[in-house]
Chain A
Amino acid sequence: MNQTLTINISGIVFHIEVDAYETLKSYLNKIKSNFNNSEERDEIMQDIESRIAELFNEVISDGNQVIISLDVEKMIAIMGEPEQYITEEEEEPIHSKAQHTRKDKKLFRNPDERILGGVSSGLAAYIGLDTVWIRLFFVAAFFMGFGVLTYIILWMVMPEAKTASDKLKMKGEPINIQNIGKTFEEEAQKVNEKIKNMDTEKFSVKIGNIIENIVTAIGSVLTTIFNVLGKVIGITFLIVGTFLLVTLIATLFGSTAIISITNEGIFSIASYDLFNLFFNSEDEFYLASFGLLLTIGVPIVSIIYLAIKILFKIKSHYSVPITLIVLFVIGLSLSSLVGIKVAKEFATDEHLIKTEHIESSSSILVLKSSNTEMPGEGIVEDEITSISLDEELLYLQFVKLTIKKSESDSLLLKTKFSSHGSNYKEALKNAQTINYSYDMLDSTLQLNNFFSTLKENKIRGQHVKLTLYIPLYQVVYLDKSLKELIYDVDNVTNTYDKKMLDKKWVMLEKGLTCLDCENVKGISNFQLDSLKNYTSINDSLTTN
C-alpha cells in the first residue's frame, strides 16, 4: 500500500504515488531551468505538460487508477532526458555574445586576470573593450598625473568578483547552470595552471598581492574613520539641533530671556514681552510666533532628522522632506504676512517740537543725566536697560542730545518727539503720548535718559531728540553720565562724542571749543586766558 497525491497536469487530474511524484517534479524542474527566456519557457512547459498528460491518460484505466514510478520513467524515456531538450537559442550566433548591454553587467574587479588589482580587467569586462586598452589608458593617465589616484580609488571602490555568480555578472553573462558550470571549469583550469606555475610565479603578481593587502587595509581603516566621523557629526547635529529647537520654543512661547554674551557684556532680551510690544493684537503675535517657529524650526528639525538618519540608519519616507518643505513655506508665508502687517504700522512718522528756555544760575551749565534704574521690568537689557515696562507704561531709552549755537543770548532746550504710525493721525498721536522730563536746578540741567509712553501704543519707533542751543561764550560742562545721551555734537576739534565728556566746552564763533583739553586749538592763548578769567570771576563752583 502506498500514499497517493492528487495533481493536475494541464488541467487533467491524476492520482500519483509519492515517489513517482518526486521523480516527476524534479524532471519538470530540470527542464524548466534549462530555459532562460521566461516567456518562451512558460509556453514550452505548457506544451510539454500537455503531452505528458496525454501520455499518462493512455496509461490510466479503471483497473489502473494511479501513476506509478514506472509510468513516469516510461514517460521520460519517450519525452527524453532534460539534457536532450534543445535549449540554446538558434538565432543567437548572429549577435556577438560578448556584447551585453551595460544593464546586465556589474562592475567588479577581476582577480583572475590581474597585474596589480584586477582593476583594468574588471573595467574591460564591464565596458567591453580588451584589457590591453584599459591598461594603456592607465599608463597614459599615470603620466598625466591623475592615474595613480584614480587607480587606487577604483581599487578601493570596486568590489572583487569572488563567487562564480559575481564573475558571471562581471562579464554580463546570464547566470544559469551551464554558465556556472563553465565558470567552475575555467576556474579549475586556472588553478591547475597556477599550481604548475607556482615556482615561477611572476614577480609582479607577488607585488600585486602585497600592494593589494596594503590597499585593502588602508581602505578598511578609512571606511572605519568615515563611519565614526559620520556618527560624530550625527551626534553633534542631534545635540545642537535639539538645543536650538528647545531654545526657539522657549523664546517664542515662554517668558524666558535670550541671553547673549558679547564683547560689550551680557545682553538679554525677554523676547516674548518684546514681541508683544510690536504686534497690535494677541492673534498677530501668535501667528507671527508660529510662523517664526516654522521658519526657523523646520531647518533645525531637518538637521535633527538628518542626524537621526545618520546615527540610526533609518530609511526615510519620501513624504518627510516634502512635509518639511511645506511647513517651511507655510511658516515663511505666515511670518512674511505678519511682518508686512507690522511694517504697515510704521508707515509714516510724525513729530512735534517743544521749546523751552533754560535759566542757569551760573555761567557754567552742568549737563548731567540721571543714571537711576529705569522703572518697571526690563525686557531689553544691556549695560543699561533700554526697554522696560510696568502695568500701563512703556519705558524706552531712545533719547539723544546734541548741542548747537543759539541765535539769541539765551539757553534754549528744544525737545523733538517723534514716532511712526500707520497713518498721519496715528503717528502724531503716538508722538503726543511721549512723556519726557528733565530737571533744571541751579546751574545743573539733569536730563532723563529715557521717556515713557502708554503701553497700549506699542513700540512704534518712538524717540526723543534734544537740542540744546547755547549762546556765545557760554560754557558747558559735559558730565560722564551723558555717555548714552550725547550724539553728534559738532565741535571745533572734531572730537568724538564720548571723548568730549568730563570736560568743559565753550561756544565760540567757530563752534564748541574745549577748555580743559591739553592742546586747545582754535583760540588764541589770550582769548583762552581771558575766557578762563571770565568764567572764574563769575564762577564760585568747583568743577565736578
Chain B
Amino acid sequence: MNIENTKAQMRKGVLEYCILSILNNGEAYPSEIIDQLKAGKLIVVEGTLYPLLTRLKNAALLSYRWEESTSGPPRKYYQLTEKGEKFLIELASTWNDLVKAVELTRKSKN
C-alpha cells in the first residue's frame, strides 16, 4: 500500500470540515482558503479545492458573492449559510468523538 495514498485519503476526509471551519471565522475567497489550508499542510494543490467548494455551495452549505478585483477577473467571496453552520457543529462533534476514539485505540495498544 502506498503511504502517500493513505495520507491523501485521511486528509480528504477532513477537508470539508476544515473548509467549513475556516469560513466560520469569516468570509473568504478561494485563494485565502487555500493559503490557510496550505499552512496546515492539508492541501498540496489548489485544484482539489474548487470542485469541493462548488459542491458545498450546491449543497446549500455555502453561499458566495462576487467582488470586482483590480488585478484580474472578479472573485467569489464564500461564506457559511445557516445550514452550513449546523453542518459544521455536527461535524465538530463527530470530529471530537473520532479524536477520542483514536486516542483510546492508540493508548490501549500500549
Point out the residue from A10, A47, A78, A87 that lies within 8 Å of B45, measured CB to CB. A78
A85: which of B47, B58, B59 is its contact (CB, 8 Å)?
Answer: B47
Residue in A44, A51, A53, A90 whose beta carbon sits within 8 Å of that of B46 in the complex:
A51
B54 touches A86 (CB 8 A): no
Contacting pair B47 A80 (CB below 8 A):
yes
8 contacts between A and B (CB under 8 A): A10-B73, A40-B51, A40-B54, A50-B74, A51-B30, A77-B45, A81-B45, A85-B47
| Beta-carbon contacts under 8 Å, A80-110 to B | 80-82, 84-87, 89-91
Chain A contacts with B in 40-55, Cβ cutoff 8 A: 40, 43-44, 47-48, 50-51, 53-54
Q: Is the CB of B31 within 8 A of A54?
A: yes
Bound complex: CA A404 to CA B104 (Å): 130
Q: Chain A's nearest CB lies how many Å from the CB of B63?
A: 14
Q: Which residues of chain A have a CB within 8 Å of any CB of chain B?
A: 10-12, 31, 35, 40, 43-44, 47-48, 50-51, 53-54, 57-58, 77-82, 84-87, 89-91
Judging by beta carbons under 8 Å apart, are A51 and B31 in contact?
yes
Interface of A is mostly: helix
Point out the residues of chain B lying under 8 angstroms from A40, CB to CB.
51, 54-55, 58
Assess A51 versus B50: contact at CB under 8 Å? Given A80-B44, A80-B45, A84-B44. yes
**Is B26's CB within 8 Å of the partner chain A?**
no
Contact A85 B31 (CB under 8 A): no
**Is residue B48 contacting chain A, with contact meaning CB distance below 8 A?**
yes
- Which residues of chain A have C-beta atoms less than 8 A from B76's C-beta? 47, 50
* B40 at interface by CB-CB < 8 Å: no
Q: Is B86 on the interface with A (CB-CB < 8 A)? A: no
A288 to B22, CA, bound (A): 88
Does A48 contact B31, Cβ atoms closer than 8 Å? no
Residues on B with C-beta less than 8 A from A31 are: 47
Closest 8 CB pairs of A and B: A80-B45, A80-B47, A10-B73, A79-B47, A57-B72, A47-B50, A54-B72, A85-B47
Smallest CB separation, A446 vs chain B (Å): 108
CB-CB contacts of B31-47 with A at 8 A, as 1s and 0s? 10000000000001111
- Is B12 part of the binding interface, using a Cβ–Cβ cutoff of 8 Å? yes
For the complex, what is the distance from the CA of A11 to the CA of B75, rounded to whole Å? Answer: 12
